[in-house]
Amino acid sequence: MGYQVSEYNLLKLTSDSGGMYVFDALTNNIFSIETNEDFDSVCMADLGHESDLRLDALTFQDIHKEVGSKAKTLILEITEECNLRCTYCVFDEKHIFERNHSNQVMPLELAYEAVQDFYSRTSRDEGYIVFYGGEPLLAMNTIKKIVDYANKISNNRLKFSLTTNGLALSESKFDYFIKNNFLITVSLDGNKETHDKQRITATGKGTFDAIVRNLRKLKLHNEDFFKNQVLINCVISNANDIAGINNFFQENNFYKESLRFSPTIQNSIAIDNSITHSISLESVKTSLKNRLLPIENNFLDSILKKIEFRKLDNEAKQGKKLCIPFSNRTYVRTDGTTQFCERIENYGKSKRDLNSLSFQSEFFFDRFKIFKQDACSKCFAYNFCEMCPASFISNSQFDHALADTKCSQYRKSVVQTIQIYINRMESDELVQC
């Protein structure tokens, strides 16, 4: 099975059976081609396009509207205190662009103000408050007061989430989280050896046994809540750990309901490359979920879903998810510093009033357009890509070499997944042109 990119947004592929297809990345249509001559000669003009470049662009008016009335997530760093010292954590003295751990807690007045500002920018039908740290469960009383305030001003319309290392996840807190329908993300880095190597206490003690014990208690306490509202996040810090992590989660069905894998920023390129090369098309011809190991399945399945449920024709570009600063995320630190993402070093700071947020968002997108718009307009994987602008920032600057590497890897993954999709559709006789 092969492929070629004949024009920027036209991808030509052959299936295992020899079927010939073209993927029009501007409309997301996949067409079956009958003859070799047509396959070799077909171009974007034949598909009704005047150009093979993607011309749509986000305007400043669009940005202002998104920031001012469609804000989705407020992330509150309610404490800088943490009961772990994970080896890959950026909140230490080794990372000069980030803060260190401390006992600082967000003042309630500041939290209330941030919640009020955020709610005024939501659609009133959608809005999440995420409690972040440090370890947010160390500030449980603060969480409860913020939830009470948020419920009061929103008439219980806002939803809640938290990211925790799980060490302080006790039975005394379970009923509160269930009552308030929290979405809980718990960090568990795979098998005991890998987890205890990197998720350690200040004294160097591993935490695997304690966290697994807490997870089992939560499932026993309320299995439906555990199944629907608890997400396990496994951080992959080294490509050499992939085999052990895969084996652990494959053998433990306890964790299969909601499982996510996140490569560390520091080693993401090597890890993604290792995962991509480990996936065999032969292993996924009949069933993606039954044949792939957990990490590989998680890696490709998200792309496959985007392809299976893609928007077509004039609606194709509406399927693209854009991470608009201060719309998709607004991150407020314990001292009130506001920036647009919790995943990057100090960057994109702003005051919390609407004009300042919109200006900062527009300024960032203007810089991003200069940096990336030309490449994005030529990329056949664009409609499926969820790499946000922050993905390409290194040492507080846009990094061309980093972008080239990450984008090249993602394009390979998209090609691989479209090939899987075409083979599966052929076998089910579902490809329609």
Residue 289: its pLDDT value, please?
A: 46
pLDDT: which is higher, 330 or 343? 330
Structure-token pair, residue 204: 């160097």
pLDDT band at 288 (very low <50, low <70, confident <90, very high): very low
**Confidence check: pLDDT of 242 > 80:** yes
Find all residues with CB under 8 Å of 303, minimum gap 6, and list them.
Answer: 384, 413, 414, 417
DSSP string, 122-183: S-SS--EEEEESS-GGGGHHHHHHHHHHHHHHHTT--EEEEEE-STT--HHHHHHHHHTT-E
Mean pLDDT of 174-182: 96
Question: In angstroms, rounded to a whole number, what is the distance separating the alpha carbons of residues 422 and 281?
Answer: 12
pLDDT band at 88 (very low <50, low <70, confident <90, very high): confident
Average pLDDT across the chain, whole number: 86
Listed ranges 37-41, 251-255, 350-354; the one with the highest mean pLDDT = 37-41
Rg of the Cα atoms in the chain? 23
Residue 277: its pLDDT value, please?
A: 66
User: What is the CA 393 to chain-centroid distance, rounded?
Assistant: 16
**Confidence check: pLDDT of 433 > 70:** no
Question: In angstroms, rounded to a whole number, what is the distance separating the alpha carbons of residues 381 and 412?
Answer: 9
- Strand 128-132 with 159-164, pairing: parallel
DSSP string, 249-276: HHH-GGG-SSEEEEE-TTTHHHHHHHHH
pLDDT band at 211 (very low <50, low <70, confident <90, very high): very high
Q: What is the pTM of this model?
A: 0.84
**Confidence check: pLDDT of 182 > 80:** yes
pLDDT: which is higher, 192 or 346? 192
pLDDT in tens, 374-398: 999 999 999 988 787 778 888 778 8
Residue 344: its pLDDT value, please?
A: 66
Residue 286: its pLDDT value, please?
A: 44
Least confident window among 20-24, 174-178, 369-373: 369-373
**Burial of 89 from C-beta contacts in 10 A (0-12 / 13-18 / 19+):** middle
Mean pLDDT of 48-77: 86
Looking at 220-370, which runs of residues are DSSP E strands? 230-236, 259-263, 330-332, 338-339
Q: Any bridge partners for residue 4, and if so which?
A: 12
- List, in order of start, the domains of the chain with CATH numbers: 3-57+368-428 (no CATH), 60-359 (3.20.20.70)
Distance in Å from the first CA to the final CA of the chain = 20
At 366 the three-state DSSP class reads helix
